[in-house]
Structures are given as C-alpha cells and as structure tokens.
Amino acid sequence: MAQIKVTPLGAGQDVGRSCVLLTLNNKNVMFDCGMHMGYNDERRFPDFSYITKEGPLSDFLDCVIISHFHLDHCGALPYMTEMVGYNGPIYMTHPTKAITPILLEDFRKITVDKKGETNFFTSQMIKDCMKKVIAVNLHETIEVDDELSLKAYYAGHVLGAAMFKVEVNGQSVVYTGDYNMTPDRHLGAAWIDKCRPELLISESTYATTIRDSKRCRERDFLLKVHDCIDNGGKVLIPVFALGRAQELCILLETYWERMNLKVPIYFAVGLTEKATNYYKMFITWTNQKIKKTFVQRNMFEFKHIKPFDRTYLDSPNPMVVFATPGMLHAGLSLQIFKKWAPFEQNMVIMPGYCVQGTIGHKILGGAKRVEFDKQVLEVKMAVEYMSFSAHADAKGIMQLIHSCEPKNVLLVHGEASKMEFLQGKIKQEFGLNCYMPANGETVSIPVTVNIPVDVSLKLLKRTLHNPLTSESDIKKPKILHGTLMMSTKADGSPLFRIIEPQKAMKEVGIKPHQIRFTSTLRLEDRNRIQPLRFAEILFQKLKTKLRDMYNIQLLADGSISVSAVIIKVDVGADEDLKEVYVSWSDQDDALGSYLVDIIQGFQRELTT
C-alpha cells in the first residue's frame, strides 16, 4: 500500500523553527524553513542532516514552500540555501516575497552587527537566496514538474500568509502554516475549499484554547493601557513589525480619537512607513472594510502614532510604545524592557505567543528576576498577557477540518500536552487518525492509490440516467454498460479506459456471438386498431415513459427499436387481440425484461 511520510525538522511538539518534510508519491517537499527564537546555538536552525548527512539538499528536495514571513517560518532559508546548499525552486506569495528579505536583514543586523555572532548568513546570502523564490497568486495552480503541483489558499494570520495544497498523481496534502479562522480589523478569515486531501498538516498553537469575545478583549486592553498612562506609567507593547502591530495600532488610534487623549503613542522608526507601503501595495489581501474605505482613507496612516526615538527612553512622561520583536528576545523591545521593568507604574502587554527560551516566555511564566549578561534584572512592572494572536484556536482548527474534509490529520507547531488533548477531540468528533510526531520522528500514513480512468461523457451520462443501473438484486443479471481496458501510453505508463462493449470487442478483435430471446405479449384490442397504428400508439407511450434514456425509433416496417431491442405488432388469432413480440439479445436481457414489464402495464391505456 502507498504511504505518505512526514518528518518535522522543527515545530514537532514545539513552537518555533517550523520545518516539515513531506514525501508524497516519491516527491519530497519542504514546508517552511524557520529559526527558533529561543536558541543562540546550532539548535536555532532545523537539523537538515535528517535529509542528507552531507552534500547539497537539491538532490533530495523537489521544492520548498514558505507559508508566511514570520522568522520562525522563514528565518533559516538563507542558511539552508547558501550555507547548507539548495538551488531548487522556493514558492511563496507575493507579499511574503516582498517582506521576507527585509525582516531577514533586520534580524541579521541584530544578530551579527550588534551581538557579533559568527556562523550566520550575510546580506549577500539573503539576496542570493531570494533570487530562487517564485511568487504565486492565491488559487493559482503551479506545475512544479509533470507530476507535482501546488495551490495557495488565503490563511489570514499576517499579510500574505497562505495555506498550501500539494498534489502528486491525484493525491494531495494540505499544509496550513499559521492561520486564523476569524476576521480581524485588517485581515480576513482563512478559507479553503472542500478539497478532501489525504492529509491535513495543521498548526496547533492554541490547541486547548477557545477564545473569549474579541470585543471584550479589546475593551480590557484599552482599559489597561488607559489606567496605566493615567497613573503616570509607560506601556510597552512588544510586537512583530507586521500583523498584530497594525491590528493594535488601528484599535488605539480609534480609541485615542474618540477619547481625545494627548499621551503620545510611538512605533519603532521606519517600520510604520514600511508597513503602510506594504498594505497599500497588497490591499487585496486585507479585509473587505479596509478595501472599501481605502480610496477615501488609508486605515494605516495614523494621526496619533509617531516614530519612536531612543532619546525618549529616559523621558519621565507617560507614553505607549510599540517595539519589535514580539517575544522580547532581542532588539528595541528588549532594550526598552530593561529600562522600564524596575518601575511599578509601568506595564508590558504581551499580545502574542512567546516560545520557550525568550524573555517574553519567562515573564509570562511569572519570573520576577531575569538574568542578562550575568546581571539580574528585577521585574517590578506589571506584566499582562492579552491574546491578540492571529492563530486559530481549538474551535477554528476543528472548523478547518470540517471545511476541507481530510482523511488524516497531523498536528505541528504546538506544545505536546495541548496537542494530545486536541488529538483526542479530533478522533472523537471526526473519527480520523490524528498524528503528532516529535522533531526527527517520521510518521508513515497508509493511503489508497487513485488510478485515473478515462470514460466518455456520453457513456457516463447514459449509465447514470439508466433506471436499470439502480437494480439492487444481486441475483438478477445486469446490463453491461462498459468494459475496462488497459493499454500503454507513449511514455510507457498505463492508460485505463472504460468504453462501450462493442468498441472494446472491436479493439481486441473478438467476434460477437448473440443469443436472442423473444417474448410474445397478447394485448386486448376491442377497437381492432390496425397493427401499424397500434405500433404508433405504443411508440408514443414508450417514448413518453423512457424519456431520452434510450435511442427509440419507429421503423418504416412498423416495428419499434429501443437500443438493440426490437418490438413488432401483429394481429392475433383472435381479432380482439394484438400480439406484441419483444426480441432482445442476452446482452440486453435486463432492458428486454424491463420493456416487457412496461408494455404489460400499458394494457389499459392502449385499449381505451
């Protein structure tokens, strides 16, 4: 039996470093190639030795697909292509292709230029890597080669995020990347058709969470921010440059306008301008409201949100600051946190998930002392977690399974204990096999092989509309509609066809032999109608009854043909009787018997 093989090189019972290797009908596809924000050593990148111990990856991979621009999904791409070695095709959407190199370069500057780390990719490597990228449109079928194709679906989550369906010889697998099944203030909800893949590989970040009302969350967020600045405090909101940042900026901008607040809101220099340009460029990826109002007003041009200057760090006045990155593992957000953490009047609001190993994860776990460069920082500022994460919750994951109707489910990008809970729910509700492999563990999933068969539309329609095909009595003979033929294509591959029996016999040179049966029906005819006229009446009755299901004709000699069955009318020994002869071959036995039953049922109609 054929098998699908899946090996997570990252994000197996873990969040971060997403990288999933799929083998489908001898084609090898890599989904995502991310880095782990919680590590600074070799564990930062996926372990590509699972693919090959030495040599380039191009010999083993048919293509690489990147779901979106977050670094835990694309951050290892230059390392893989330029340092490990891969020169095959890389697929991602247009917004992802535009934004990915900028985020990679920003992270490289923090890691290499500021921290002085070695064994990291260079600016030139990022440029060379991006030259291998092929941008795709939503719902566009891309032929990678003669057997492998892919299609992207809208995933919500962040600008340009996509779920991907890959198909090989009629069998398909869907990889979700990160997705959100509910629309928000700037993006729409994820959507996929009922594609019924052999396997759905889904993220499970919030596998055990069902979120409360979005409106309640937004109100709580605004109240916490307002209370903090009213008490003279500063609010730090760590975010990634694109995504939740725009969502919360729109929320605060609207609130500041309504409440006529004067306390400044700042965003890291340059990122707001870049974000605005990207949302203008890719406006079709946003939600309906923003698309409709974009001509009159750009929702991403903020009146109350100004660029942040590092000199503001020591200002005693209240302020709200959006700073990157979102997990407090490096950059400006970490620098501001160090400055503001020792003061009780300040607050940090974490709006998204933080992976293990990051400062964000530690303070959300309740840590009041955090170590930096052998120095201990006392955390006295308020720490709040408010889920504005654009990941699907448990309800959303179940909704996606219901939408695309997979035959198997495999969970990645989640914590093991939460995955186990969701795994049980999926088995209980859908009766599906659900897998959750760890990093480096290969899961083999048996699948049914699909064999394509060519059949003419004419033959298919005739068979489907034939009432005899619905006969359920296995003891009764069945009408032969088609013959399965196997031949060989020019390239040596098998070709399967279903064709009419007569055509099949002709192709293989079999001479047909026929046995004919004749049934004589005696119908009462007190009006003594002429046989030809009686045949005409019978013809009209049969035509009305059979509707265009069979080829029915009134022949010149007064006989009637229904496909290969012949019906003749003659005067019986008694002048008040008509003899109707129904003649058919053994091949048409079911049709002949069916016509005999119909004609007997016409007795009353024919004699009135």
The DSSP letter of residue 543 is H
Whether 203 is catalytic is: yes
Which pair of structure tokens corresponds to residue 213? 């009302």
Distances (CA, A) of 239 to 98, 330, 455, 532: 20, 12, 56, 90
Give me the catalytic one of 82, 167, 198, 203. 203
Q: How many CB atoms lie within 10 A of CB 50?
A: 16
Minimal CA–CA distance to 68: which of 30, 105, 32?
32
* 139, 371 Cβ separation under 8 angstroms: no
Q: What amino acid occupies position 314?
A: D
Largest CA distance in the chain: 120
C-alpha 279/C-alpha 299 separation (Å) is 9
C-alpha 243/C-alpha 177 separation (Å) is 15
Residues 6 or more apart whose CB falls under 8 angstroms from that of 199 comprise: 4, 6, 173, 174, 406, 407, 408, 409, 410, 445, 447
Which pair of structure tokens corresponds to residue 51? 């693919």
Which pair of structure tokens corresponds to residue 106? 């920003």
Residue 403 CA from chain centroid, whole number: 9
* 457, 12 Cβ separation under 8 angstroms: no
Residues 6 or more apart whose CB falls under 8 angstroms from that of 489 comprise: 495
Minimal CA–CA distance to 327: which of 8, 9, 15, 13?
15
Output Rg (C-alpha) for the chain, integer angstroms: 35
C-alpha 230/C-alpha 259 separation (Å) is 13
Across 83-233, the runs of DSSP E, i.e. the strands, are 90-93, 133-136, 142-143, 148-154, 162-168, 171-175, 199-203
Grouping H, G, I as helix, E, B as strand and the rest as coil, residue 231 is: coil
- Residue that the structure tokens 């330029």 belong to: 82
DSSP assignment string, 422-449: HHHHHHHHH--EEE-PPTT--EEEEEPP
Distances (CA, A) of 607 to 60, 197, 560, 604: 79, 59, 19, 6
Distances (CA, A) of 392 to 13, 155, 319: 17, 10, 32
- Residue that the structure tokens 């900026």 belong to: 249
Looking at the annotation, which residues are catalytic?
203
